[in-house]
Amino acid sequence: MEKKQMRRILVASLVGSSIEWFDYFLYGTVAALVFNQLFFVNEDPTIGLLLSYASFALAFFIRPFGGVIFSHIGDRIGRKKTLVITLSLMGVATFGMGLLPTYQAVGIWAPILLITLRLVQGLGIGGEWGGALLLAVEYAPAEKRGLFGAIPQMGVTIGMLLGTVALSIMTLLPENAFMTWGWRIPFIFSALLVFFGLWIRKGIDETPSFKKVKESGEVPKLPIVETLKNYWREVLIAVGAKVVETAPFYIFSTFVVSYATANLGFSRTATLTAVMIATIITTILIPFMGMLSDKIGRKKLFIGGTIGMALFAFPYFWLLQQKSVLILIVATVIGLGVIWAPITAVLGTMFSEIFDARIRYTGITLGYQIGAALAGGTAPLVATALLNRFNNSYVPVALYIIFASVLSLAAIWAVKDRSNQKLDETHNTSAM
């Protein structure tokens, strides 16, 4: 395949993924700063914040359903068509959020409408990740599969970075202007990004792996049934491996926004800046970690990052307690910028390598989205509840990160590293 087409494929995978995650993370950051005051109004600020985070978590539980729906389409009709639908769905929901009336204007309908649009976001992102990943991985040469699989993973952090930058700019507005209309601008602006993403994806052909399945006449009638019947072990492995990639991520990027501002006295701008700097660093490191996995193997890199995550849990919170902006930045950079990078860089490629092409979209999506539902969206909620229950002590939250790491280590131990095999030779033989 010529380099120009390969570049377009990678750009299509990255751009679409970045836009989806921009829309998705925008909600998470605004939930901590705005929605608890404008949509989830309560006399107790902690209750308002918990309700806001609960709405954030809710979309994670709908993601597996979106994953089932769109992975079915992806394994039956194709990766490309599915990606167009998921991106359009996400764009409509996010744009709609920017136009919603607040609780003061329409009462209980405000949170109801917000939650409805959040659920639509969850459906869209549920199907997006698997398609964006397979678009890159199924086109990749065997010796560069780690690098190619890392590219759509960059979309997660680029999307988060775009959301953080957009909100950081908006927070420079006077408080009243930000709370009235400033927070809405990034949501409305996202419509332009969606149109760009759809244009990029328009010129992409279907992946070689899916074409082979279609030509062989082996397209499954019900991919989810076959996946749960023949690949349930691989799904469980993927769910377990996802835990360490998702729970600490939302602690470092979302929970810290409210924790550092409300409990430790940091300014909103300083906290968002720390997250932004760490996000830039991890975005730069992800492709290099993908390339490294092509040399030393996915499993070794994942295990190294997971052990690092467990070891850093207590030092991270101790550093935050120093109440220095510089140390806040350093702590966030180490956790989110450096330790998390190898884990997320290899996760998608590793998942792809343990599922057969016939049900690969369904398999990787189930593992990823169930893991995200169980450990991702709930992370800020669990961390906030633990703080509330244990008199603002960070010890239970640090133990929570360690628990997530141990769980993922146990899951990944069952995986045989298949970095050097051709992708379509990996047929239900990943577990030992």
Amino acid code (one letter) for 241: A
CA 15 and chain centroid, separation? 14
- Cβ(271)–Cβ(256) under 8 Å? yes
Nearest CA to 21 among 293, 355, 372? 372
Whether 111 contacts 72, CB under 8 Å: no
**pLDDT tens-place string over residues 25-70:** 788 778 777 888 888 877 677 777 777 777 777 877 888 899 999 9
pLDDT at 429 over 70: no
**Tens digits of per-residue pLDDT, 70-81?**
999 999 998 888
Mean predicted confidence (pLDDT) in 297-322: 96
Which residue reads 């969606």 in tokens?
194
Reported as a pLDDT band with limits 50, 70 and 90, residue 1 is low
Pair of tokens at residue 291: 């390339």
Q: Between 202 and 231, where is the model more confident?
A: 231
User: Which range, 92-96, 278-282, 309-313, is most confident?
Assistant: 309-313
What amino acid is encoded at 6 in this protein?
M
- Specify the pLDDT at position 425: 58
What share of the chain in percent tops pLDDT 70? Answer: 96
- The 3-state DSSP class for residue 415 equals strand
Q: Give residue-wise pLDDT tens across range 337-375.
A: 999 999 999 999 999 999 998 999 999 999 998 998 889
| Nearest partner of 23 among 223, 190, 183, 203, judged by Cα | 190
**What mean pLDDT comes out for the span 223-240?**
93
C-alpha–C-alpha distance, residues 97 and 29, integer Å: 14
Annotate 333-400 with DSSP letters as a single string.
IIIIIIIHHHHHHHHHHHHHTTS-GGGHHHHHHHHHHHHHHHHTTHHHHHHHHHHHHTTT-SHHHHHH
Residue 342 burial by CB count (10 A; 0-12/13-18/19+): exposed, middle or buried? buried
For the chain, the average pLDDT equals: 88
Give the whole-angstrom CA distance, residue 341 versus residue 328: 19
pLDDT, tens only, 145-154: 999 999 999 9
Residue 141 token pair: 């040469």
pTM of the model: 0.85
pLDDT of residue 432 exceeding 70: no
CA distance 136 to 147: 9
Residue listed under structure tokens 């989205």: 369
| Residue 317 confidence (pLDDT) above 70 | yes
